[in-house]
Amino acid sequence: MWNLILRVAGSSAGIWLASEFVNGVRVSGNWKTYLLIGAVLGVINFFIKPILDTLALPLKILTLGLFSLIINMVLVWLVDIAFVELVIIGLAPLFWTTALVWLANFILQKWLPAK
């Protein structure tokens, strides 16, 4: 449960950072919108991403792990499609948004490890 909470917090923080610092990313709404988008992205990363990682294992081995970046970008893109409040225009802002979400999740997982 703690890991899911950290993923939701990291995803919310990553989306907020992207909307503040990445040109081409816009979120219309208040903090509740960031929390809702982060919750959906965190739940997708928690439940669906391990299944996708397992299915794409041969491609990940072939590309030395770079295919996991494509999987993460597709998940962020799907959340972008699902929420009207989140607008990501272009491939470069999608990449940087994905990188910031990953970084926020990584930092939270290292600073606040599972109990």
Tens-place pLDDT, residues 11-49: 999 999 999 999 999 999 999 999 999 999 999 999 999
The number of folded domains in the chain is 1
pTM above 0.85, yes or no: yes
Average pLDDT score, the chain: 94
Please give the pLDDT value at position 7: 93
Please give the pLDDT value at position 112: 86
- Domain limits at 77? 2-111
Q: Residue for token digits 């919750």?
A: 39
Is 40:76 a contact under the CB 8 Å cutoff?
no
Is 53:60 a contact under the CB 8 Å cutoff?
yes
How far apart are alpha carbons 71 and 82 in whole angstroms? 17
Task: Convert the pLDDT of each residue in 41-81 to its tens digit.
Answer: 999 999 999 999 999 999 999 999 999 999 999 999 999 99
Please give the pLDDT value at position 50: 95
Is the pLDDT at 115 greater than 90, yes or no?
Answer: no
